[in-house]
Structure 1
Amino acid sequence: MVLVGEFFLAGDDESAVRVGPRKSHAFPAVPCDGVYADDAVPRWEALLTGAESPLRYVVPMANDGFTVFAVPQPLCTALASAGTDRLRTAAMSWAEIVSEPDDEISPDSAVGLLERLSALAGSRKERGLSLYCWYFAP
């Protein structure tokens, strides 16, 4: 299965719906290929905050396998403020939870993704933007 996606900053939902596979844009972004982002985000939030917020879909997933959602504010705040050790611990726990035979996320890849996502989340306020994610799993 091809699974592509990215987390990105956008000014509003109208801008966010114009992003997706094979659509170029100038928004700051972090690729998340190989990750079911709508499953990962609640797990990351639980690991970093102890709670889970519902996802707000801007483009609900349909039969085409494409979706866009807003990343919950509590997770954005947690990512932006988490130190390196906290991010590393959350990433390692997440990698262990989601890895299955023939479908593993390496601990290094998980840590790298959360570190890049933390930097993106940290820059959203100064830019006046919100954090979104799109992914495509045909």
Structure 2
Amino acid sequence: MVLVGEFFLAEDDESAVRVGPRKSHDFPAVPCDGIYPDDAVPRWEALLTGAESPLRYVVPMANDGFTVFAVPQALSTALAGASADQLSTTARTWAGTLSEMGEELGPRSAIDLLERLSALAMSRAERGPSLYCWYFAP
């Protein structure tokens, strides 16, 4: 299971590679502990847009279990423009998929995560930086 992770806004890849466990930063961020974000992001994108974009890894995962990737622009845009109903439906579907795979994340927690991520994506649209994610899965 993932121990720690977060979605965050950064100006560019160079800035994004400087984040990680036990590295403080001042980027706007949403924690995503307890999930595999590189599995969740394509699922969310498919549910919200009907398509999947490949993830672009800024720091590829190595033997240490740490990675950073850029969230696809299509998902960032979809999250920023999603209605509360769309986010709720996406979150409930995703939580159901996790449950089928033996992972536990309740629908309320899934909805809360996507609502906070949507707010972050909206602020990205206003500010201009890109949405990234890092996580550590030892």
Fold similarity call, TM over 0.5: yes
Query: How far apart, CA to CA, are the structure 1 residues paired with 2:100 and 2:124?
Result: 33
The list of structure 1 runs, each at least 4 consecutive aligned residues, that deviate by more than 2 angstroms after superposition, is 100-103
Matches within 5 A, 1:81-92: 81-92=81-92
- Name the % identity: 80
Q: Which residue of 2 aligns with 1:75?
A: 75
- Say if 1:55 and 1:101 are closer, same or farther in 2 by CA, change over 3 A: closer
Q: Which amino acid aligns with 1:78?
A: A
Matches within 5 A, 1:1-138: 1-100=1-100, 103-138=103-138
Alignment partner of 1:99: what SS?
Answer: helix
Q: Which runs of 5+ in 1 are unaligned?
A: none
- Say if 1:107 and 1:64 are closer, same or farther in 2 by CA, change over 3 A: same
- Give the alignment's Cα RMSD to 1 decimal: 1.1
Shift of 1:3: 2.0
Query: How far apart, CA to CA, are the structure 2 residues paired with 1:2 and 1:135?
Result: 7
Pick which of 62-71 and 100-109 moved more. 100-109
Aligned residue pairs total: 138
Q: Which runs of 5+ in 2 are unaligned?
A: none
